[in-house]
Homo-oligomer: A and B are copies of this chain.
Amino acid sequence: MNRGLPQALLASDRPGTLDATLRDRLGVVERRFRAELHSDLDCVNDLAGHVEHYHGKMLRPMLTILASQAGGGNAAERPGVAERVDLLATVFEMVHMSTLVHDDVLDEADIRRRGQTINRLHGNETAVMLGDYLISHSYHLCCALDDARIARAVAATTNTVCEGELLQLSRRGDFALTPRVYFEIVRRKTAALTAACCRLPRLVVGDGFTDAAGEALSDYGEKVGIAFQIVDDVLDLVGDEATVGKTLGRDLAKGKMTLPVIHWVGAEQGAARDAALRMLSDAAAGRETPELRERIRGSGAVQRATQNAAALVQDARERLLNGLPEGDARQRLLDLAAALLERRH
């Protein structure tokens, strides 16, 4: 199993037993995920089994579990509490999986986690319905927490994620997209979920988890989510498909403006800007030339986007350093944010 990002974290030689505990709990999440999706129909189980291969970084369950510990301290280890946190972590993983399956339909992607996508194997129709099946089960599982505040907060989060996706779709082909709108899209479609992973454990843990800690974690989760998306954008542009393990280069073909491309266009003026917009328009119409990527790479725009991600990670880390007491889990979250910048897949 390739865990990418967390592998580095899990394998670190930091003292204490958090590594083994975290690994165990991610195993609980995987098993609960599988159990929730079990159906009496073989055809459904076959599809659900394929989705399990999409577990990769398990970033969202990791954030959920670590946030419960970093904000809740000993209260997060009370009998029953850790189990409920793991359940919430499973809900977030399932929500995330549903967005992956539907994103692959939107992006017409063929490869995900080094395997063929559902849409590639079984057609878009099955991918749409399987995504719906995952969404439905994520809410169903969430109801097992028997807490309407959490269920409502999870649904409010997915409302926001969908808004972000719809805003992005409405701006496809708008090659003059501003950074302001870009960040508005990303804050909703990606960062709303990572922020919720860090914020909602407070509702599970209850007493012992302060409002201030919840807010620090929520801010951290949002910033980390935006940084994560920027790194994703950069990988789509300059990454190696074999290393990243999924279909790349779809953003330009889909007329989806990402931060490095926005920086590139923003720095050009006059005829050079017109030429840039024309090349992007051509790429979105299926006529991408190698020159386009060379120009973007040569412009320093990728470095600028990477610097934006680094600044966000820095902010996220400071938010934790100032807003949470010292501890192993806080350190893990600090490391996790830093590791985001190094990820290659």
Could you list which residues of chain A lie within 8 angstroms of chain B, going by C-beta atoms?
Answer: 39, 41, 43-44, 47, 98, 102, 105-106, 122-126, 128-133, 135-137, 139-140, 142-144, 146-148, 151-152, 155-156, 158-159, 161-163, 165-167, 169-170
CB distance from A302 to the nearest CB of B (A): 26
A167 touches B132 (CB 8 A): no
Tell me the smallest distance from the CB of A215 to a CB of chain B, in Å. Answer: 22
CB nearest neighbor in B for A156: B140
Chain B nearest CB, measured from A254 CB (Å): 9
Are A143 and B152 within 8 A (Cβ)?
A: yes
A125 nearest CB neighbor, chain B only: B106
Whether the pair A155, B140 counts as a contact (CB closer than 8 A) is yes
Q: Which listed residue (B44, B122, B129, B167) contacts A102, Cβ 8 A?
A: B129
A contact patch SS:
helix
Which of chain B's residues have a CB closer than 8 A to the CB of A132? 98, 102, 131-132, 135, 158, 162, 165
Question: In the complex, are the beta carbons of A102 and B128 less than 8 A apart?
Answer: yes
CB contacts (< 8 Å) of A159 on chain B: these are 133, 136-137, 140
Residues of B within 8 A of A44 (CB): 163, 166-167
Chain B residues within 8 Å of A133, by CB: 159, 162-163, 166
- Given contacts A139-B139, A155-B136, whether A169 and B102 have CB atoms under 8 Å apart is no
Q: Given A125-B105, A166-B129, do A151 and B143 touch, yes or no (CB 8 Å)?
A: yes
A170 to B122, CA, bound (A): 9
